[in-house]
Amino acid sequence: MKWVLRILAALVLLLLFVLAGAWVSFPWYAQALLDRLTAGTGASIELREPGRPGFSGIGFRQLDATVTTKPDSCSTTASTYSVRLRNGRLSWQPIGKGAPAAFALRLDADLASVRQSPSGIRFSQPNPSLHARIDVTETGGLFPAFAPDSVTVKIRNGLVEAGQLRLEKVSYDVLLARSNGWVQQPARFRASSLLSGDVKTPVSDLEATFGLKRSPAKPCTLIFTDCALELSGVRVYAPQIEFNLRNRHTAFELKLDDVPLEQLSPDSGPLGMTGRLSGSIPVEYLDPAIRIGNATIDAAKGTKLVFKTGTTSVIFDAGGRQGAAPLLGSLRARLGLETEKGELSAITLDSLSARFFDGRISSAPARYDLKTGTAATAFSISNVPLPGRISLQGEFSGKMKGRLSGSIPVRLDRNGVAITNARLTVPGSNSILQTPPVQPGGDDALFSKTAGSREVQWEFSDTAVRLNREVAGKMTIAVTLKSLKRKTGGGELLLTSPKGTLTMFARPEKPSLFTVSGFSAGLLGGTVAVEKMDYDLERKHAETLVQLNGIPIQSLLEMQGTSKLSATGTIRGALPVVLDNNLFSIPEGSMDAEKNGLIIYSTTPEERAAAGAGMRLTYEALGNFFYSELLSTITMAPDGNSTITIQLKGRNPDFQNNRPVNLNLNIQQNLLDLFRSLTLSSEIERAISEKVLEKSGGKKEEK
């Protein structure tokens, strides 16, 4: 009996030594056990630096697993999933004390990463945690049977990558259970933002509910429900999206439901938006193309965009009107997706067209290269009633009318948007009412005097615009009109074929500097031109030189309201103008006649009979005066008071045997009053009368 006990003790001791040896040497044969367990399963597991098992778990430095799924009737391509866990630990503990026995398994790691081939989609998550339940049942043999019951993984703060595209802060609950046939149940998917490289796209806050259970009627279709995302701050919805695994076809309808534009309005700056947008956008995806068909976007009544500049607000009324066409209708587009080595490399715009109100817009084909971040296209606009929805309020007021047509070539790169030689036209006439504000302290604004006379009506016709914008922000706007008329209570001033170029934001360090260049127009039968003028909005200051050419002298006399003087010939001039805080002055301008002409001072026999000897002499000299030289200078102070000097040289063949005559005139006048009324009693006639009085007093003014 003692020998039996000794033998049993030796066997127990030997078993303990074997178990201890197995525990100590576990890291060396653990891989062999895994290879044996996964043989013939289509899966492989590589365990690096495993620890020695304890009573409740085992740790490891890295685990690499590869699983390949076979093609089926829905997918003709085999998929391979490569999984890597770093610094992980597998732990277990019993669940309950009754029969059948069960264990809870938990797998934790510092980092998990998954790669799917051949798509190249990658997933990673820090600090993943997998929970599983294993049931243990008796088999009647030496070892019990182990049956998995469920597996759950809560994905939080995950990252999904496909080429240069990245979904950040992904969350999703994976639930696989024996009772559900090991099919993933519907769960809510969320992602905070979509990036292209390191640049955030306008897409964010994506949500959808989906699982992997398929309908018998559509065995190859995955169904996503309650889908939503933020697109440039606008929340869009899709009640259901169906994705066919066999032909990779997707069709759904995006919904815009009373999207408030206030949330898109910038917190600061001149632009403000109010109102709501609604619409539907049918989308179809058939690899490798995306189609948008017959989409509609409309704005609710009261939807407006307001741009404030100075004392004037430009208002665009985008709101729907009874019986009117929607903001965008019949919107159709086709996008293509190009791939290179399995990754998205470019997005092409094959076609785009839409009704814009009851006009039309379209786009030329374009290609956006994801590597270079560049694209170029041109938008065409035809007969769009855009001006009819624009109104002005403030110092300038009134509603516009007409229809807009033209083309806008656009180029996009990573630094911004450039526009090259865009051309826009608005045929027809428009008018704007200007009511300049009264200056503080009672001083009048430019060209203003009283509340009744401050109003100025500007009328312009057949507007044509040429627009250029550089990526850095510099913008040039060249405008050509058929005519521009300025009307006041006292008269009107007409510019014919005016044109000029406005340059903005040419100097990033000084955005308040605007430049007018190449301005010219027909004036009073001649021309007026400004080669260049820099205007500082902050200082309200500008200096320039106004060039006059071919201005008929008779037109100037008529503008002055003269009744006795008439003249032939034209003048040219150079007038330096200084604009300072809405007041302008002329330091020292000059004008002269371009060629010889005739001046006639008309009098009646009664006037000549009643005049004195000196007056009759002047009447005779100017009754038929052929001038050979006409020189003039002009200065004007900011308050409008001006001094004009005129030097005349010539002859009257009917006066004293055609002897030479020199005449000098000095005219004191407020030019701002002239601009306000455009017709005044003639200061020239008064100056001539003063000369007559001087002559009768014995002052020699003629030779």
140: left (phi over 0), alpha (psi -120 to 50) or beta: left
Nearest-angstrom CA–CA distance, 116 and 189: 19
Predicted confidence (pLDDT) at residue 433 exceeds the cutoff of 90: no
204 Cβ neighbours under 8 A, 6+ residues apart: 192, 193, 194, 229, 230
* 675: confidence class by pLDDT, cuts 50, 70, 90: low
28-42, 160-174, 305-319, 518-532, range with the lowest pLDDT: 28-42
Give the pLDDT band of residue 342 (cuts 50, 70, 90): low
Q: What is the pLDDT of residue 490?
A: 64
Q: Please compute the mean of the pLDDT values over residues 24-51 and round it to a whole number.
A: 68
Contacts of 37 (CB under 8 A, 6+ apart): none
Q: What is the mean pLDDT of residues 528-537?
A: 86
User: How many other β-carbons are positioned within 10 Å of the β-carbon of residue 625?
Assistant: 22
| Beta carbons within 8 Å of 426's beta carbon, 6+ residues apart | 387, 402, 403, 404, 462, 463, 464
Least confident of 132-141, 231-240, 612-621: 612-621
pLDDT of residue 551: 85
What is the distance between the alpha carbons of residues 262 and 249, in angstroms, rounded to a whole number? 36
* pLDDT value of residue 443: 43
What percent of the chain has pLDDT above 70?
80
Q: How does pLDDT run across 176-188, given as a tens digit for each residue? A: 888 888 888 899 9
Residue that the structure tokens 């081939």 belong to: 117
Per-residue confidence (pLDDT) for residue 332, from 0 to 100: 92
Question: Quick check: bond before 118 cis, omega within 30?
Answer: yes
Whats the size of the chain, residue-wise?
703
Q: Does the pLDDT of residue 267 top 80, yes or no?
A: no
Residue boundaries of the structural domains of the chain? 43-163, 540-703
Residue 322 has pLDDT above 50, yes or no: yes
Question: Distances in Å between the alpha carbon of 473 and those of 368, 401, 418, 479, 584?
Answer: 21, 29, 8, 19, 30
Strand-pair partners of 315: 306, 391
- The whole-number average pLDDT for the span 210-230 is 85
Average pLDDT score, the chain: 79
Task: Report pLDDT for 608.
Answer: 67
pLDDT on residue 34 = 64
Residue 379's pLDDT is what?
A: 93
Backbone φ, ψ for residue 474 (5° rounding): -60, 135
pLDDT per residue over 443-460, tens digit each? 444 444 443 456 888 888
Most confident of 241-245, 343-347, 605-609: 241-245
Residue 678 has phi, psi (to 5 degrees) of 65, -10
pLDDT of 390 > 70? The answer is yes
Q: Are 693 and 699 spatial neighbours (Cβ–Cβ below 8 Å)?
A: no
What pLDDT, on the 0 to 100 scale, is given for residue 501? 92
Does 22 score more than 70 pLDDT? no
Average the pLDDT over each of 117-126, 651-660, 663-672 and give the range with the smallest value.
Answer: 663-672
- 111, 101 contact by CB (below 8 A): no
pLDDT of 420 reads 92
Q: Which residue has the tokens 């399995």?
A: 342
Count other C-beta atoms under 10 Å from residue 470's C-beta.
16
Q: What is the pLDDT of residues 573-611, one digit of tens each?
A: 898 988 887 677 888 888 888 888 888 877 777 666 666
* Contact present, 213 and 185 (Cβ < 8 Å): yes
Q: What's the whole-number mean pLDDT along residues 113-123?
A: 85
Give yes or no for residue 248 having a pLDDT over 80.
no
What is the pLDDT averaged over residues 297-314?
84
Q: Which two tokens stand for residue 24?
A: 């100590």
Task: Please state the pTM of the whole predicted model.
Answer: 0.67
Q: What is the DSSP letter of 473?
A: S
User: Residue 481 — pLDDT band, cuts 50, 70, 90?
Assistant: very high
* 305: nearest Cα among 261, 276, 263, 272: 272
The answer to whether the beta carbons of residues 486 and 493 sit under 8 Å apart is: yes
